[in-house]
Amino acid sequence: MHTERLYFTDSALLEFDAAVLDIRPVDDSFHVVLDRTAFYPTGGGQPHDTGTLDGLQVIDVSETDEGTILHVVNNAAGLAVGNRLHGLVDADRRRDHLQQHSGQHILSQSFLEACGAETRSFHLGSVSSTIDIALDSPADEHMRAAEERANRIVFENRPMRVHLVDEDEAARLPLRKESAVQGMIRVIEVEDFDWSPCGGTHANRTGEIGLITIKSFERAKRLTRVEFLCGGRALRDYRLANRTALSVAKMLSVEREESAEAVARLVQEGKSQRKRIRELTEITARVEAAELLASANSVNGFKLVTAVFDQRDVEEMRLLAHRLIEGEAAVALLGSKEPGMARLVFARSASIDINMGQLLSAACATLGGKGGGKPDLAQGGGPNVDKVDDAIKIAVSGLTN
């Protein structure tokens, strides 16, 4: 059954009447076939329309290999073969898809003019759209040049026309790409700018597309993937970006245009402060290690240092452990109590033949957790915070027995 595509000649058509040719139960839904439809089926990189058929929600629209368009509804109450019904296409979804697809045509031709990059594929997503273009070394100037050209075409509000031609007529047109369709071919013209075979929904004039913005680009499988937004999507993205920029500017007490520079200063200041903190932490670790070693007991020819801290960062404990064992022969058994988690770091000097990993495993079992590491340095932990002191005692017992 062949369905007449009303959107082929008029993408602005949102309401229509049609006859029901078939109703096919499929799982928990019904596929309704009409003699004519304004509903666009998924295809050509563009998602399907939604809407209603006599009030029944159309949740999907697809096309068979034979050209039959299937309207998927959850129930077919009140529908019967031969009946006429009223179809209503969701206007917001249609407008959104129309803007993105029309914008893609203009952007693709703009890339061709700006840097000779042909479009290899197009995908219209629910949030943003992408085209893959034949560009080996993408640069920001390529994006800006194509974006500038595309928006100039939009602002000039040029007519966009639909042409239904045969293969001979199509061969005489300056098509941007070859048609994959045989027989009658639908061609979309942007006046004095672009001719492209396409079956999707399109604007009547370029001004309907609204702003075209390139959001990002990246190399992808020897092509360049360009993410772009048109019309309402571009407006929503601007609002989000502007709201974010204003919030950042307010926190930094600067104007919006000065926020990037202010953030860069903060990042540099942060790097300098982190470097200074690392230097001070190193100094503190050496002093603390010296104090702990001075008060530590000697066991079997080495100094045994045990300590339990409140919320001590594990990296700080590792640093302290290194400072404890780098001079005289020593073993460091260090613990930290954090909300919901206990941490352990065990270390020994190179001259001592004791496996810290094995010692730590037994201690971590007491904490209800696990850990591991090398014979000279191991770390781990567990949720039994109140057992940290017991875990250290177990490790001491393993050293002295």
251-271 pLDDT, tens digit per residue, is 999 999 999 999 999 999 999
pLDDT exceeds 80 at position 401: no
What does the block give as tokens for 24? Answer: 């096919």
Is residue 174 within 8 Å of residue 195, measured between CB atoms? Answer: yes
* pLDDT for res 44: 86
What residue type is 115 in one-letter code? C
Question: pLDDT band at 207, cuts 50/70/90?
Answer: very high
pLDDT exceeds 90 at position 22: yes
Is residue 118 within 8 Å of residue 133, measured between CB atoms? Answer: yes
Domain 4-89 has CATH 2.40.30.130: yes
Question: pLDDT band at 400, cuts 50/70/90?
Answer: confident
pLDDT exceeds 80 at position 129: yes
Question: pLDDT band at 375, cuts 50/70/90?
Answer: very high
Mean pLDDT of 173-179: 91
Dihedral over Cα of 153, 154, 159, 163: its sign:
positive
What does the block give as tokens for 316? Answer: 């700080």
CA-to-CA distance for 362 and 201, rounded, in angstroms?
A: 68
* pLDDT for res 373: 87
**Domain chopping of the chain, boundaries:** 4-89, 94-240, 295-400
What does the block give as tokens for 379? Answer: 């770390």
pLDDT exceeds 90 at position 372: no
* pLDDT for res 335: 95
Each residue of 298-341: pLDDT tens digit? Answer: 988 899 999 999 989 999 999 999 999 998 899 999 999 999 99
* Portion of the chain with pLDDT greater than 90, in percent: 87
Tokens 């993105």 belong to which residue? 100
Question: pLDDT band at 118, cuts 50/70/90?
Answer: very high
Question: pLDDT band at 2, cuts 50/70/90?
Answer: confident
Report the run of H or E that residue 20 belongs to, with start and end: strand 15-26
Whole-structure pTM value: 0.75
* pLDDT for res 126: 92
What does the block give as tokens for 374? Answer: 């090398």
Edge-to-edge strand order for the sheet containing 119-124? 119-124, 129-133, 223-230, 212-220
* Portion of the chain with pLDDT greater than 70, in percent: 100
**Residue predicted with more confidence, 3 or 31:** 31
* pLDDT for res 175: 94
Q: What is the DSSP string of 184-249?
A: SEEEEEETTTEEEE--S---SBGGGG--EEEEEEEEETTEEEEEEEETHHHHHHHHHHHHHHHHHH
Domain boundaries 94-240, CATH class: alpha beta
Where residue 188 falls (left for φ over 0; alpha for ψ -120 to 50; beta otherwise) is beta
The burial class, CB within 10 Å (0-12 / 13-18 / 19+), for 323 is buried
The 3-class secondary structure across 102-144, one letter per residue, is HHHHHHHHHHHHHHCCCEEEEEECCCCEEEEECCCCCCHHHHH
* pLDDT for res 190: 98
Pick the CATH number of 295-400 from 3.30.420.40, 2.70.98.60, 1.10.8.100, 3.10.310.40: 3.10.310.40
pLDDT exceeds 90 at position 181: no
**Which among 137, 122, 128, 118 is positioned nearest to 45, based on CA atoms?**
122
pLDDT exceeds 80 at position 1: no
* Contacts of 174-178 spanning 24+ positions with Cβ under 8 A: 176/108, 176/109, 176/112, 177/118, 177/119
Q: What is the DSSP string of 322-353?
A: HHHHSSSSEEEEEEEEETTEEEEEEEE-TT--
Q: How many CB atoms lie within 10 A of CB 175?
A: 15
CA-to-CA distance for 87 and 54, rounded, in angstroms?
A: 6
